[in-house]
Structure 1
Amino acid sequence: MFRRTFWFTTGVAAGVWATTKVNRKLRQLTPESLAAQAANKALEAGHRLKDRALGFALDVRDNMAQREAELGDALGLNASADPELPAPRQHTAIENRNNPKYVGSTTYSYNRNEDH
């Protein structure tokens, strides 16, 4: 008698367990559940991508600052200014006396965009 009761109870427990397992799996395969799972996966992927992009941007900024410092040192831009400044350069202006602007007292503008 106890043997039959034991196996009956074991069978009922196994049936309940199997039914629960099947129903849970069926609920996971409904369209709403699949859509929610896909949305969660997309959000996780978006967060991972954002974190990687942020890390990449920070690396680029650091390397850019380092390279600018190297170029500044190479060009002497980061060096301290000497108290003695060099003498200013003398530039000579070259004028073209054949330019219509200098010929005669009347000047003519050949600019088509100028107001007449």
Structure 2
Amino acid sequence: MFRRTFWFTAGAAAGVWATTKVNRKLKQLTPESLAAQAANKAIEAGHRLKDFALDVRDGMAQREAELGEVLGLNDHPEVPGPRRVAAIENRNNPKYVERSTYSYNRNEDH
């Protein structure tokens, strides 16, 4: 009698376990779950790509500093900055020459 009860209980437990596993797998294969998994993977890949880009940038800065030391470029800190260009010319300046308003558009009708 004890043997039958043991095997009945073991079979019932195995059935519950198998049913639970199958239901979990079916829930993972629903379209909503697949979309969520794909979105999570994409976000994770984006984070990895960002980390890679930051590592590359750090490596580039480090190598640039090393090359600057070897080539002696770091010895001259008084490097002039970029030149600024005026966006609007001064019409009171005698160098200002008024240009004609001839159109050079080759696509306009002649």
**TM-score strictly above 0.5:** yes
Residue 53 of structure 2 is matched in structure 1 by 53
Identity of aligned residues (%): 66
How many residues of Structure 1 are paired with residues of Structure 2 in the alignment? 79
d(CA) in 2 for partners of 1:44, 1:7: 46
1:73-112 superposed matches below 5 A: 78=75
TM-score, structure 1 normalization: 0.58
Matched residue, 1:104: none
CA distance in 1, matches of 2:3, 2:69: 86
Q: Deviations over 1:53-85 (max 9, x none)?
A: 101111111222333344445xxx837xxxxxx
Give the ranges of 4+ consecutive aligned residues of structure 1 lying more than 6 Å apart after TM superposition: none
Structure 1, unaligned stretches of length 5 or more? 80-112
Residues 1:20 and 2:20 are matched in the alignment: yes
Using the alignment, how far apart are the partners of 1:25 and 1:47 within structure 2?
A: 28
Letter in 2 for 1:14: A
Q: How far apart, CA to CA, are the structure 2 residues paired with 1:12 and 1:30?
A: 27
Unaligned runs of 5+ in 2: 77-95, 99-110
Alignment partner, residue 102 of structure 2: none
Q: Which amino acid aligns with 1:78?
A: D
* Offset at residue 18 of structure 1 (A): 0.7
**TM superposition score normalised by structure 2:** 0.60
